[in-house]
Structure 1
């Protein structure tokens, strides 16, 4: 429905007003009727379309009815199709008549000037601003949805800048402008009309800290671009140029969706008129555009790897070399964070999570910095943040726990659950059952993840583990069939079953940890006879089984979608679980190439029986298993290969705005 404005008429003197292209004017024919008038006749110049609403009927004028009764209150509407060339170059004349009179008892004349005022953005999500009949003031999800998208300008295009691009109010490069969404204000019509009215670009008070708008006038020089909206600036007066009918503004996002911010922001342009200099201006037209700030999106293990990260610390040279060799086989670049930057903090998986943000015209990777803030705390800002590589962080004012490290933050591949699609997968985080002293991920981090909307988080039970991360008991690997992946779960039951098989085959004296110095070497017989270890692993299995059921329900999985990876756990002094041998699900996934912690299991027939079982499970899926020795460099420090590496991956081909949350 077109925007409509009511206009008063007068039989005492001619009136004039502005009609904005695409809107309707409702003329108050009854309010201006002289005493005794019973009907009216309306006539207009060719550039004006007239119609009467009478007794629920809409009649276009001129019609077979020449006069219309003033009772019971008809409406006279008009619209114009083209901007005027001159002020008042079109008009409407209303003639009033008595009940049976042939001579008008009064006339009202309204001079009209048509102007075009339109605020446009990439509402169709095509990558370019275009005119559209879609409702610009609404935003809808799904393949048939519409609405403009805005990126948080969280990269740093100028290497000499101190912080993120959106932390200052300057445009430092043309690359900076390309990270922003264009907002196009179109104006057409007589220049004198705009000189006599005011055109105001404005935003809602609640959005002032969420976006910033830059304008460079008609010039293209960087120094011409100034912030005109955002912060304390809620409105900006636009003065259309004599020679330029389009004004291009650039909009940057300042904040991601979060617990108190839906991600929706609105910008408006309003045409104001002031009848007298001493009177306040009044609005006669408003056009609005709604943007949604693009969410931060995680990528799953099954996405193609683009870059592998690992830290160089004391005595992990062989581990770094092994990861490098795996990355080379996967044809994936390797970035080594040197010791001066990591300050002997090897747990790069825990420090950051790589994701991305996307608009129709641009996609940029964004690193999410965890609240753990140990030796690697400066690495994301100093070494990752840069041109077209963004940064976001959340703090834990209540104090960070181990569950705030991002080994406790994973995402599934795309799934469908009872008919509902999650085309970008679902985020998985570890938590605890409600209990005194139970650990949970920081509220600020959880709220942020939920607010992104497109990867609805699932909470799992991980507080039974000493470190408490979901990557200690689950992983995903690509597969050529079924859903395109398998969920791998650590399984004490599968491990005991395997060891029992080997015992029955006569290999009960085969020992663990062969070739490792100063490490006890229990045999299969000793492990199976250890009742305390058995009871603790029954407990560990019950915790994993609980998570298995949650994952099946939340990800729509069936048993054939899950593979049980043999694993044992042992209790620490506070009855929390730690891996008894290197935790094989805590693996590095680079396409079909897997870097798996070497378990140092019992050697049977010249082969580690644990490695052999994992190969039997994974190689039929077309996966290549490489077992990496991380025993002294990571395992004894309560982490494994996945904990000590990180991967930036290819964004989804699926566009997030096609999701239906």
Structure 2
């Protein structure tokens, strides 16, 4: 048997030399070769497989960001067959929860699941001999994929050694491929799969290979429209629970004003975790489906703090379903710390600069350079292995919680770039106090919020400005923010004119009763009045998970006035910020006025929500307590 790859030869030519009785040699006699195997995939990503023209042949053996067939990690649960509890309603182990999805069985789970298959087709071979046979197989990426064939309108798994009949090859065969997981480490598997069609006729075989790559798992950016807000809702009648419940109901009013559906609530009461931004990161993966429409799977990335952050189980028990999958990454040996919370993962919108292009945006995360602490290796490896969003690390060691969402955000803009960058500005915050003092208002309380069951510092403007510790805190914050801004300007090309500066104040001081901003005490989460506040920056003491190293910064800072930069972008021009509770002078909160002006100049209509208790007092704000699902219909390859 003679085997020919179409990559090397499109036609087999067999020459026979005939020896005549006269002893002379005749000219070679050429016999027609076998029909050529021709397998096609959606190389140009238009949603169809071209078997009559040549649009899907060029580059079928290679793959690039711009061109090449893609397939999806089919890890959603279209028929809701995955169990969420064990016998008698007992919780399932994390591993059992994470292991169930549509790609783990050998069947196509209905029409929705079939839509998650990337199509391949064999070019019809009408002149094929009756005794011809074919074979289709995955020759690279075998254990990472499943290949299905459509026969009589039904999908079935392609089994090893399974043959295609001559009749099927004459008509052309439709196939579908799915990935069984995301790309976790490109050193182990880079997402590539090679599918081979072999056709045998009259003892000779030709074959054709097509290379596909698993579509990358991407994180959302703020240029993508919000479709759904998520928030944790706790039960209980204690002051913290009631305040959190009020926050959830107020949030619904803001989403309604933005013409968004009511927020989807997750179960925080069972897990004592109100930090919806932190225990998972919404991601997505997509390809072009039939008719040119994007076929998108949402994939929720659970934080790697799985051994102690049980709220992450919600991605499997509440969010996984039709069109939505979830993944759990390997946890660090020490249990993971504050850098592993997903509030420490934000995404710069798409940009091109200095010859580098990021059509799906670029991830930023915080790190502690002083101690060498970084987000967990499993997460950093997975993000980098997608090959699209190249994570950029910034110094957040000066912050108590250490998350990038505490000082920087990205806003949609009607500009050639399509977005602006907003950063917290401690110098502007201090200047507001200095101006108020100069105008004779130094005796005003820094916080205008009433006291009661919610602790409120009693410092005046004069006391705050007189505190050398407070001055040092904000000088440190200003310097560190400026360093990160310079990195972001260098990496993205964003200019000063595209940067929105939002007044802010930071402090090392505790926010608990009887402690002023001038005594230098630190906020102790383990001493907070509500258990669900303990989990913000690190695990509760009982978990044994890694706490941040005190060597990173002896007394890291947190937002003192509620951090306006840590808000919720609802759509292109609506933004919800934490209520400022700053000094009220002549009937106006000077921080609210200044923050409103900054966002309005950036084209944003801003509104405020009271998150003081429990979010602000737990060293977080509106963004930390919410999450968003965003539109992912645009092509991630930049078209």
Indicate whether the TM-score tops 0.5. yes
Which deviates further from its counterpart, 294-303 or 589-598? 294-303
**Matched residues in 2 for 1:391 and 1:20: separation?**
38
**CA displacement at 1:242 relative to structure 2:** 6.8
Distance 1:198 1:618, change over 3 A: same
Whole-angstrom distance in 2 between the partners of 1:337 and 1:495: 34
The residue that corresponds to 1:366 in the other structure is 299
State the SS of the aligned residue for 1:117: coil
1:141 aligns with 2:64: yes
Contact residue 12 and residue 32 of structure 2 kept, 8 A? no
Residues 482, 494 of structure 1: CA spacing in aligned structure 2 closer, same or farther, 3 A cutoff? farther
Aligned to 2:97: none
The equivalent of 2:322 in structure 1 is: 387
Equivalent residue, structure 1, for 2:43 = 123
TM-fit CA distance, 1:450: 1.2
Find the aligned partners of 1:566 and 1:307 in 2 and give their Cα distance. Answer: 29
Q: Secondary structure at the match of 1:301?
A: coil
Cα offset, 1:252, TM superposition: 0.6
Structure 2: gaps of 5 or more residues: 84-99, 235-240, 290-294, 509-520, 523-553
**1:287 aligned onto 2:208:** yes
- Structure 1 position 657 matched with structure 2 position 637: yes
Native 8 Å contact 2:360 2:638 kept in 1: no
Give the CA deviation at 1:632: 1.3
1:536 pairs with 2:457: no
Within-5 A mapping of 1:316-355? 316-339=244-267, 343-355=271-283
Question: Following the alignment from structure 1 to structure 2, what is the Cα–Cα distance between the partners of residues 442 and 369?
Answer: 13
Structure 2 CA distance for aligned equivalents of residues 292 and 325 of structure 1: 43
8 Å CA contact 1:341, 1:379 repeated in 2: no
Q: Does 1:627 align with 2:557?
A: no
Per residue, is there more strand in 1 or in 2? 1
Q: Deviations over 1:478-500 (max 9, x none)?
A: 23346333211122222112211
TM-score by length of 2: 0.80
Matches within 5 A, 1:265-280: 265-272=193-200
Q: Give the drift of 1:342.
A: 5.1
Instruction: Note the alpha carbon deviations across 1:1-59, whole angstroms, 9 max, x for none.
Output: xxxx899xxxxxxxxxx999982334456xx475xxxxxxxxxxxxxxxxxxxxxxxxx
- The answer on whether the counterparts of 1:319 and 1:633 sit within 8 Å (CA) in structure 2 is no
Aligned counterpart for 1:607 among listed residues 581, 584, 588: 588
**2:149 maps to 1:215:** yes
Within-5 A mapping of 1:491-510: 491-510=425-444
TM-score (norm: length of structure 1): 0.78
Paired positions, count: 555
Q: Does 1:490 find its partner at 2:416? A: no
After TM superposition, give the deviation of residue 355 of structure 1 in Å.
2.6
Counterpart secondary structure, 1:386: coil
Instruction: Tell me the CA shift for residue 415 of structure 1.
Output: 2.2
Counterparts of 2:169 and 2:620, CA distance in 1: 66
What do residues 216-267 of structure 1 show as CA deviations (whole Å, max 9, x unaligned)? 4x3224xxx33225xxx4x543233379622222111123233322222110
Indicate yes or no: 2:111 matched with 1:174. yes
Residues 1:515 and 2:502 are matched in the alignment:
no
C-alpha RMSD of matched pairs (Å): 2.9
Q: 1:243 to 1:620 in 2, by over 3 A?
A: closer
Alpha-carbon distance in structure 1 between the residues aligned to 2:175 and 2:607? 53
Q: 2:347 and 2:279 mapped to 1: Cα distance?
A: 16
The alpha-carbon deviation at position 649 of structure 1 amounts to 1.1
Counterpart position of 1:459: 393
Cα distance in 2 for partners of 1:642, 1:179 equals: 32
| Separation in 1, partners of 2:63, 2:47 | 17
- Unmatched runs of 5 consecutive residues or more in structure 1: 8-17, 35-94, 99-103, 276-282
Tell me the distance in 2 between the aligned counterparts of 1:629 and 1:96. Answer: 105
User: Structure 2 residue aligned with 1:414, among 340, 350, 354?
Assistant: 350
Question: Offset of 1:130 from its aligned partner?
Answer: 0.9
